Amino acid sequence: MALEILKLNRGVEGLFIKNSRFNTTLISYNFYLPLNKDTVAANALLPFILTSCSKKYPDFSRLNLKLAKLYGARLNATAEKYGDYQLLKMTISVINDKFSFEDESLVKNASKLLLDLIFEPNTENGAFFSEDLEREKRKAIEHIKGEISEKRVFAKKRLIEEMYKDEVYGLPKCGTVEDVEAITGGSLYNTWKNMLETAFVRVQVVGKTVPEGFFEEVSERFANIKRKNVTNCTESTKTNAIKNPNTVVDRMDVAQGKLCLGFSSELYGNDSVALPLMVMTDIFGGGPYSRLFANVREKMSLCYYCSASSIRQKGLITVESGVETENCEKAQKEILNQLQIVKKGKFTDFEFESSIKSITDSLNSYNDSQNSIDLWYAIKINNKKLYSPEDIAKKVAKITRDDVIAAAKGVKLHTVYKLLPKEASN
């Protein structure tokens, strides 16, 4: 059955994704805002404070009791970078009504709870309470600092910062510690108002049925908001190629070095045009059949891990590897050599066919998880057509070797980032 997007308000959409295989219903609110240095930290903090308390449930104990009465309904919040935008996501998952002994609809009550959390936060005199704010700020700062100890995450983050140092995509998704510390109850209240007024919004329901009157109630809530300057989140700027690739080296107390390479691609955009880049990246450094895994890691033993991934809406490919210092240059040289092999079309039929099968199998497995289905449609907001995972699997199956070679030829090295152990002192 074809999915239909409902227009609920200016820049507010509703989407019911019917799936009868689950015993729960998942409801998500997805807010899309531009990445901006002045607002990135406050935006990222907002979903977490909104799903921790509200006017009706001013502390988590009372909110938790309400969730327990809804048969253990689960709230979740995330903040991610999506191209040149932030995606603020708030969800609630609850068991379907047929499994409860209540007269009232559990799903409808859960949806009302999430609406109340988003539209009626625990504020007073135009500010969030300091106790709630400081709790969430502390968690955010711990998360940001925690990324430093995860060296693989840290190295990838540093690569992106260096590649996009003059662009919004280079901003960390949760801001910096200093950005978080600067948030006040009043500034976060203004951030909340700005989210409701200017974010592009997609409200999604994944389940057997949609609650009666659900989208009408959402529409009524937004009717009370003065919507203006609504974010257009359909396009991100392309990663520009550079003539002379950059090399950046950081040294820290690490036992294992990290080598990350960032590439620009001439092929970028939505799933109507950029799918060959996904297949090319997978042949280059996806599964155990890929060039990087089979050769750089296994055959030549130059690194502990070596894989590639793509952000197609940015035209970006990254390679991540863990290396010993003495193997760093050799690994870099061989990674670039494997890219040349793909550009020349010298990858095998086995590698090509294995990649197509792996990607299509992965796409066809999205319906095994409500969260995966919900996230799929949330991050496909740039597609002009509402493609399902199965639709994309069929498109991938039609991609040819020539498509892959053409995609590879547009890939150019942009930045090399190395995180290496500190040099021994005499």
DSSP state of 299: I
Measured CA to CA in angstroms, residue 71 lies from 76, 94, 107, 362 at distances of 16, 7, 11, 32
* Residue 226 burial (CB count, 10 A): 8
| CA atoms lying within 13 Å on the CB side of residue 387 | 21
| Whether the Cβ atoms of residue 290 and residue 283 lie closer than 8 Å to each other | yes
Per the CB < 8 A criterion, the answer to whether 45 and 54 are in contact is no
Instruction: For residue 419, give the amino acid letter.
Output: L
What pLDDT shows up at residue 84? 96
Beta carbons of 10 and 141 less than 8 angstroms apart: no
Comparing C-alpha atoms, which of 373, 365, 372 is closest to residue 393?
365
| Nearest Cα to Cα of residue 123 among 201, 222, 192 | 192
pLDDT in tens, the chain (426 residues): 568 999 999 999 999 999 989 999 999 999 999 999 999 999 999 999 999 999 999 998 999 999 999 999 999 999 999 999 999 999 999 999 888 877 788 999 999 999 999 999 999 999 999 999 999 999 999 999 998 889 999 999 999 999 999 999 999 999 999 999 999 999 999 999 999 999 999 999 999 999 889 999 999 999 999 999 999 998 899 999 999 999 999 999 998 999 999 999 999 998 889 999 999 999 999 999 999 999 999 999 999 999 999 999 999 999 999 999 999 999 999 999 999 999 999 999 999 999 999 999 999 999 999 999 999 999 998 888 899 999 999 999 999 999 999 999 999 999 999 999 987 443
Name 77's bridge partners.
90
Dmax over CA atoms of the chain, in Å, equals 77
Cβ distance 318 to 153 under 8 Å? no
How crowded is residue 103: how many other Cβ atoms within 10 Å of its Cβ?
A: 5
List CB contacts of 402: < 8 A, sequence separation 6 or more.
none
Cβ pair 233, 378 in contact under 8 A: no
Reported residue count of the chain is: 426
Q: Which residues contact 186 (CB under 8 A, 6 or more apart)?
A: 126, 127
* Alpha-carbon gap, residue 86 to 30, rounded angstroms: 10
Which pair of tokens denotes residue 231? 């974010």
The whole-angstrom separation of Cα 218 and Cα 359 is 36
H, E, C per residue of 343-405 = HCCCCCHHHHHHHHHHHHHHHHCHHHCHHHHHHHHHCCCCCCCCCCHHHHHHHHHCCCHHHHH
| 3 state DSSP class of 171 | coil
Residue 261 contacts residue 319 (beta carbons within 8 Å): yes
What's the pLDDT at 162?
Answer: 97
**Whole-number Å distance between alpha carbons of 391 and 388:** 5
Q: Which two three-digit tokens encode residue 69?
A: 């009465």
Question: For tokens 């104990």, what's the residue?
Answer: 61
pLDDT score for 425? 44
- Locate tokens 């392309």: which residue? 238
Please report the domains of the chain, with CATH numbers, ordered by start residue: 5-223 (3.30.830.10), 246-421 (3.30.830.10)
Task: Give me the pLDDT at residue 103, please.
Answer: 74
Cα–Cα distance for residue pair 366/374, rounded to 1 Å: 9
* Model pLDDT, residue 361: 97
d(CA 275, CA 313): 11
Rounded to an integer, what distance in angstroms lies between the CA atom of residue 40 and that of residue 178? 12
Q: Residue 74's Cα: distance from chain center in Å? A: 20
